[in-house]
Structure 1
Amino acid sequence: MPKIVDVIKYEGDNSTFVWKHPCEDFNTNTQLIVHESQEAIFFMNGLALDLFGPGRYTLETQNIPLVRNFVNLPTDGVSAFHCEVYFINKTEQMALRWGTDSKVQYVEPTYRFPLSIGASGEMSLAVDDSRKLLVKLVGTENSLDRQQLTAYFRSILMTKVKTYIAQTMRANAINIFEIDEQLEKFSEDIKEKLIPDFLDYGIALKRFNVTTVVKPDGDVQYERFKELHFRQYADIAEARLHQQTEVIAAQTAAQKVVIDSQAQATKRQQEGYTYQQERGFDVAQDAARNEGTGQFTNMGIGLGMMSGIGSTIGASVNSAVTDAFSGADPATQNRFCDQCGAELTPGAAFCDNCGAPQNTLGICAKCGFKFIKPGKFCPKCGAKREG
Structure 2
Amino acid sequence: MVKIADIIKYEGDNSTFVWKHPSEDFNYMTQLIVHDSQEAVFFKDGQALDTFQAGRYTLETENIPILGKVLNLPFGSQSPFHCEVYFVNKSVHMPMKWGTDSKVQYLEPTYGFPISIGASGEMNLRVEDSSKLLMKMVGTEEILDQEKVKNFFRAFLMTRVKTYIAQVMKTNAISIFEIDENLTMFSSQIKAMLDADFDDYGIALEQFFVTNIAKPDGDRQYERFKELHFRQYADIAEAKLKQQVDVINAQTEAQKQRLLHRRWL
TM-score, normalising length: structure 2: 0.94
Stretch deviating more after TM superposition (170-179 or 67-76): 67-76
Q: Which residue of 1 aligns with 2:260?
A: 260
Cα separation, 1, equivalents of 2:5 and 2:138: 29
Structural mapping, 1:207-222, within 5 Å:
207-222=207-222
Cα separation, 2, equivalents of 1:120 and 1:242: 41
Once the two structures are superposed, residues 95-125 of structure 1 have per-residue CA deviations (whole angstroms, 9 ceiling, x without a partner) of: 1000001011111111110100000000111
- Which segments of 5 or more consecutive residues in structure 1 lack a partner in the other structure? 266-274, 276-387
Partner SS, residue 70 of structure 2:
coil
Once the two structures are superposed, residues 211-261 of structure 1 have per-residue CA deviations (whole angstroms, 9 ceiling, x without a partner) of: 000000111111111111111111111111111111111111122223333
Q: Which residue of 2 aligns with 1:137?
A: 137
Partner SS, residue 28 of structure 1:
strand
Alpha-carbon spacing, 1:74–1:170, altered in 2? closer, same or farther (3 Å): closer
Q: Which residue of 2 aligns with 1:163?
A: 163
Instruction: Establish whether residue 228 from structure 1 lines up as the match of residue 236 from structure 2.
Output: no
- Say which structure is richer in strand: 2
Q: Which residue of 2 aligns with 1:152?
A: 152
Deviation at 1:73, TM superposition (A): 6.0
2:5–2:23 contact (8 Å) kept in structure 1: no
1:5–1:28 contact (8 Å) kept in structure 2: no
Once the two structures are superposed, residues 18-72 of structure 1 have per-residue CA deviations (whole angstroms, 9 ceiling, x without a partner) of: 0011121112211111111111101123321101111111101111111111332
Alignment: residue pair count: 261
Q: Which residue of 1 aligns with 2:109?
A: 109
Based on CA coordinates, which of the two structures has the bigger radius of gyration?
1
Deviant stretches of 4+, over 4 Å: 73-77
Q: Which residue of 1 aligns with 2:13?
A: 13
Partner SS, residue 216 of structure 1:
coil
Q: Which residue of 1 aligns with 2:120?
A: 120
Deviation at 1:186, TM superposition (A): 0.7
2:27–2:80 contact (8 Å) kept in structure 1: yes
Structural mapping, 1:175-190, within 5 Å:
175-190=175-190
Alpha-carbon spacing, 1:109–1:219, altered in 2? closer, same or farther (3 Å): same
1:97–1:121 contact (8 Å) kept in structure 2: yes
Cα separation, 2, equivalents of 1:171 and 1:186: 11
Cα separation, 1, equivalents of 2:82 and 2:40: 16
Cα separation, 2, equivalents of 1:251 and 1:75: 96
Cα separation, 2, equivalents of 1:144 and 1:5: 22
Q: Which residue of 2 aligns with 1:31?
A: 31
- Which segments of 5 or more consecutive residues in structure 2 lack a partner in the other structure? none
Q: Which residue of 2 aligns with 1:100?
A: 100
Q: Which residue of 2 aligns with 1:49?
A: 49
Q: Which residue of 2 aligns with 1:82?
A: 82
Deviation at 1:74, TM superposition (A): 8.4
Alpha-carbon spacing, 1:19–1:145, altered in 2? closer, same or farther (3 Å): same
Q: Which residue of 2 aligns with 1:240?
A: 240
Partner SS, residue 109 of structure 1:
coil
Instruction: Establish whether residue 206 from structure 1 lines up as the match of residue 206 from structure 2.
Output: yes
Percent identity of equivalent pairs: 65
Q: Which residue of 2 aligns with 1:66?
A: 66
Stretch deviating more after TM superposition (27-36 or 145-154): 27-36
TM-score, normalising length: structure 1: 0.65
Q: Which residue of 2 aligns with 1:365?
A: none
